[in-house]
Structures are given as C-alpha cells and as structure tokens.
Amino acid sequence: MEAQLIQGLAYFLKTKDIKPFLGQLSLLTKSEIIQIRVMNEGFGWIPLGRLLQTQGAAGAESYYEEFSKTVAEEVARSKQFIDVHNTAISPLSSESLSELDVKSFACFPILGSGKVIAVVFAASMKFRPALTPSIVALLQSVTQAIASILEHEYQYEHTLQKYSAQQAAIDHGIVTAGEGMQAVLDLLPRIAQTKAPVLISGETGTGKELIARAIHKSSYRSKHPFVTVHCGALSESLIESELFGHVKGAFTGASQNKTGYFGLAEKGSIFLDEITTASREVQIKLLRVLENSEIVPVGTASPRHIDVRIIVAANENLEDLVQRNMFRKDLYYRLKVLEIKLPPLRERSADIRALAHHFLNQFTRHYGKNILGFTEELLDNLQQIPWEGNVRQLKHLVERLVVLAEPNTILSAEDLRHLDAGGPVPGEPAEVAERFNAIASYQQFKDDVLHSLERKFLLRKMEESQWIESRAAKQLGMARSTLLHRLKVLKIERPVAAKAGVHSANGFAAKS
C-alpha cells in the first residue's frame, strides 16, 4: 500500500493528474471522501485540483462540494492531525458532516513556512477503528511531500495569488477573451499583495471600480471593508469631516463623533473615484495620508494612524493635468507607484462577443426572460460600433435588447437597428446629430460634442445664478470645488459685464 501511495504521488507530480493519488489515499484511510484543500484568505478552502486545474479534479474532488470548515480550521489552529472514528461523540461534528452522513473522518495539516497551507480531509459513511500509528506516520510523510510540491514544484504562493485574482475578476463580472484585458488581469496577483497605492486610469465605463474591487478581493485585506468615495460629490465645507471624521462639538451641527471614510476602511481598501475632480485642498490632505498613514479628525489635534490601501481612478490624463497645473505633481508621482491602464472597448474587439453573452445571461436571469442568443450578424455589428461609453454602454444596450425582445427568440441585427445603437439616439440635439457621423475618435467626440454641450450648459447655469458660484453649485447638485474645476477645464471665465454688476443674457469671457 505504501509503495502504491508513493507511486500515485509521483504520478501526480509528473502529470498533474491527482485522481490516482487520491484513490490510494482513499484505500489507505478506508474513506469514501478524500479532499486536499488549500487555504486562501479571500476564498476559503480551495480544492487542490481546482487550484492547479488538474486533469483529475472534476472526477475526484468536485463530487463533494460540502466540506467541514470547522474541522479544517481546528487543524489550522492546532497544527495537529485529527482522527475521529465516531462523529456521534465528537465535539467537532458539523452540519456539513451530518448532511453527508459522515460517521468517521481524519484531517491532516500540510505545513509550509511554519503555517498550515492546506489539509488532507478523509471521511467515511461508516464507523471505523482509529488509524494505526504506522498509517499516521505515513500520512504525515505524505503531507510533507505535498507541502514541498506546493511550495517548489507548483510555486504555491504565486499560483494561489493568480487563482485569487482570476476568481475575483470573475466574481465582479470582468470578462475577457483578448490579450489587452488579460494583460491587466495578469498584473492583479502581484499588485494585490502589496501595500502600495494603485492608480487605475481609463475612459469612463471601462470598469475601473470592478478592477479596484478585484484587487481588494484577492488581497489579504479581503475580509475587511472596501469603501468607495466619489471625490466630485464631496462637500467642500465638510470635506475633512467626510474623509477623516470629526469629534463631537468640532463645529456647528457636530452633535456626535463621526467616523470618516478612511476610518470606515480601516484594514481594508478605499477607492477614490474621479480623483481628477478633487480640489487642491483635498489633494493636499490625501498626500499627507499617503506619506504618513495618519489622519487627523476634525476637532482634535491628535493624529490617528490608519492601515488602509488607497486605490484611485482617473478618467482624464493626469500627466496632462499636472503639466497644466491642475493636479499636484507630488501627489501624481505618489499615486503612480502602481498604475493600471484599462484599454477602451474599441481596442478590445475580441472581448465584445464574450461580454455580450455575459450580459445576456445576466439580464435574462434578472428579468426572467428566455432569450436564445444572438445572430452572427448582430455580433458582427456590435464589433463595428465605436463604443464611446465602453463596457457600460454595451451592458446597457444588451439590457435594452433583452427588455424589448419577445421571449424564446434570437436577438438579431434588426433588433439592434431599432435601438439606433450605432448612431444618434432619438431626441438628441440637432447639432449633435449633425456632427456625429464626422467624428473619427473618442477624444474628438469629447472635445467637439461633450465639452461643447457641457460648456454651454454651465454657462447658462452661471448666468441664471448671476455668476454666484455657491448658488450655481447648489442648483447643479455638485460641490463648489467641482464646479470651479469644471469651469477651469472648460476655460470659462466670468464675463466682464457680470464683473461690473450688469448681467447680460449672453455676454461672457473665455480664455483663448
């Protein structure tokens, strides 16, 4: 039996086929259920076969998805093997064992670098005598060999990090079939395990928050909070309180202590979205947090140490903003330690089909409607659309297709044409429709259309508020600092007439 077990282990090492080895363990321990589970902070106890994507995984381990975490965690705590030959009298009997009708079990730790990195779990639906000392000694030798295999042959830590990152990406709906996004996902295991700040750049709708969540989920911080902060929505007058908290009586209305966003994210991660909209004051305070890992709640002079991973997102070119003196250079370089650049969807043509099918599955389940799929013509048409709104735009388009479609049909190019997905949407301003077909790039679309419309909109709102910035910001539902930032970006200045106290209907001054 010992020789056969060693042969099974050698075969596993050579071929990555774990099934014969598990079969020999089953015979040795007289157990119908045999699993080797690897510990991961973010995803719990992962079957070894699944982790290494071995040939025998489906046939050997996945039959028994139920697994006693109670037993495994006790072994991990004590670093000692457990042998229970009658679960009826064991304090470690658990609900999962009862559901499997387990009568006896054994669990052995696999030690690596002084900690339990995996366990061998053997369970039977029959009562059995205690394992003999010779079998226990043999199994302990086997676990040492498995530990060596995990650490040296299969680079256990790297494999586990890669699995965690890939699983986190799947869990958060990140779908890719092409090289561009796959290159990003390949970076996640290395980025996730560090403490350094992360800068995620990319156009609106490319999935920056999804990547941030995947980084957090696949890191050692995964059991702690992930806090999202939209910088542009922060009130300028209460910015310090929102981010760092305050003590009771710090200012009028501070009737009790408040924990700010950084405090809420303690030991976890904070995601600062739209960092380009942050005012200079916010940028200064953020730089202090990055350099000292300290916050000072409003109303106290005592700094408080924090342990928070900072992830920021930008949909504008930060380097360009630095050169235009619209973003602090020192903060930019502090954030740029680790940078992830997300490609726009128009550069991910190989992903469009995969994403379309992913969203189709998602929305057919959500709306309880059976849609049979897409025609090839429709999928080809999707790949021709410029996707100015990137993945978010594709997601919304598929949702509209599902909502409007008849049940038990295949979505066709005709359905797509009814949505006018490739051209101006009905109800757009005439000037947008006229320019639309002449636009060659997304940057041109932003400069010629979006910025033009935003500029005219803000000018009208400033006129209506008589160029009183706080009043305009309140009417717009945005922070005054954000409004000032947008006025500066769009090169809008207060008109001469307004400065003189005369508010004309259309007079304004703009920087050339």
Q: Which residue, chain included where needed, has tokens 């049940």?
A: 407
pLDDT tens, position by position, 317-346? 898 999 988 899 999 999 988 899 999 998
Closest CA to 33 of 127, 100, 132: 100
State the architecture of 2-154 in CATH terms. Answer: 2-Layer Sandwich (3.30)
Q: Are strands 44-47 and 33-40 parallel, antiparallel or unpaired?
A: antiparallel
* Most trustworthy range by pLDDT among 40-44, 271-275, 463-467: 271-275
The pairing of strands 104-112 and 115-124 is antiparallel
Residue 223 exposed, middle or buried by CB count within 10 Å (0-12, 13-18, 19+): exposed
485 vs 445, residue with greater confidence: 485
Average pLDDT over residues 246-258: 80
What's the rounded Cα separation, in Å, for the pair 453 and 431? 10
Q: Give the separation between CA 104 and CA 106, rounded to whole angstroms.
A: 7
For the segment 483-505, the average pLDDT, to the nearest whole number, is 64
**Where is pLDDT greater, at 48 or 488?**
488
- Determine the angle formed by the axes of helices 208-217 and 156-171, rounding to 10 degrees: 140
Separation between Cα atoms, residue 180 and residue 351, nearest integer Å: 9
Q: What is the pLDDT of residue 182?
A: 78
Please name the amino acid found at residue 365: R
Instruction: Give 268's pLDDT tier (boundaries 50, 70, 90).
Output: very high
Question: How many C-beta atoms surround the C-beta of residue 438 within 10 A?
Answer: 8
More confident residue, 227 or 185: 227
Q: Among 201-215, 358-372, 383-397, 446-460, whose mean pLDDT is lowest?
A: 446-460
Q: How far apart are CA 213 and CA 307, in angstroms?
A: 17
Q: What residues contact residue 77 under an 8 Å CB cut-off, 6+ apart?
A: none
The pLDDT score that the predictor gives to residue 455 is 79
Q: How far apart are CA 21 and CA 52, in angstroms?
A: 15
User: What one-letter code names the amino acid at 417?
Assistant: R
pLDDT number for residue 189: 75
Mean pLDDT of the chain: 77
**Residues ≥6 apart with Cβ < 8 Å to 14:** none
Cα-Cα-Cα-Cα dihedral sign, residues 298, 299, 301, 307: negative
Q: Distance (Å, rounded) from C-alpha 435 to C-alpha 426? A: 15
Judged against a pLDDT cut of 50, whether residue 507 lies above it is answered with no
Dmax of the chain from CA atoms? 98
Q: What is the domain partition of the chain in residue ranges?
A: 2-154, 160-341, 348-418, 430-510
What pLDDT, on a 0 to 100 scale, did the predictor assign at position 53?
Answer: 46
User: Is residue 419 within 8 Å of 397, Cβ to Cβ?
Assistant: yes
Which of 42-51, 313-322, 387-396, 439-448 is predicted least confidently? 439-448
pLDDT digits (tens, 9 = 90+) for 131-181: 888 888 888 888 887 787 776 654 545 555 555 555 555 555 677 767 778
- Cross-strand bridge partners of residue 112: 115
Contact 470, 482 (CB under 8 A): no
The CATH architecture that domain 348-418 belongs to is Orthogonal Bundle (1.10)
Give me the pLDDT at residue 55, please.
33
- pLDDT value for 423: 42
Whole-angstrom CA distances from 399 to 31, 204, 205 are 49, 19, 15
Q: How confident is the model over 207-230, as a mean pLDDT?
A: 89
Which pLDDT value is given to residue 157? 52
Terminal-to-terminal C-alpha distance of the chain: 86
How would you classify the pairing of strands 409-411 and 371-374? parallel
CB 423 within 8 A of CB 438: no
479 vs 49: which has the higher pLDDT: 479
Contact 211, 200 (CB under 8 A): yes
CB-based contacts of 185, cutoff 8 Å, min separation 6: 165, 166, 169, 174, 176
In words, the CATH class of domain 430-510 is mainly alpha
CA pair distance 222, 215, nearest whole angstrom: 9
**By percentage, how much of the chain surpasses pLDDT 90?**
13
Residue type at 426 in one-letter notation: P
Q: d(Cα 263, Cα 253) in Å, to the nearest integer? A: 20
Residue 422: per-residue pLDDT: 41
Angle between helices 480-489 and 451-464 (to 10 degrees): 130
Return the CATH number of 160-341, one of 1.10.10.10, 1.10.443.10, 3.40.50.300, 3.20.20.140.
3.40.50.300
Q: Between 291 and 171, whose confidence is greater? A: 291
Average pLDDT on 396-402 reads: 90
DSSP for 6-74, written as a single string: HHHHHHHHHH---HHHHHHHHHHHT-SEEEEEEEETTTEEEEHHHHHT-TTHHHHTTT-----HHHHHH
Render pLDDT for 410-433 as a digit per residue (tens, 0 to 9).
999 888 887 754 444 333 444 444
Q: Residue 244: which H helix or E strand, with range?
A: helix 239-244
Greater model confidence, 487 or 3: 487
Output DSSP code: residue 108: E
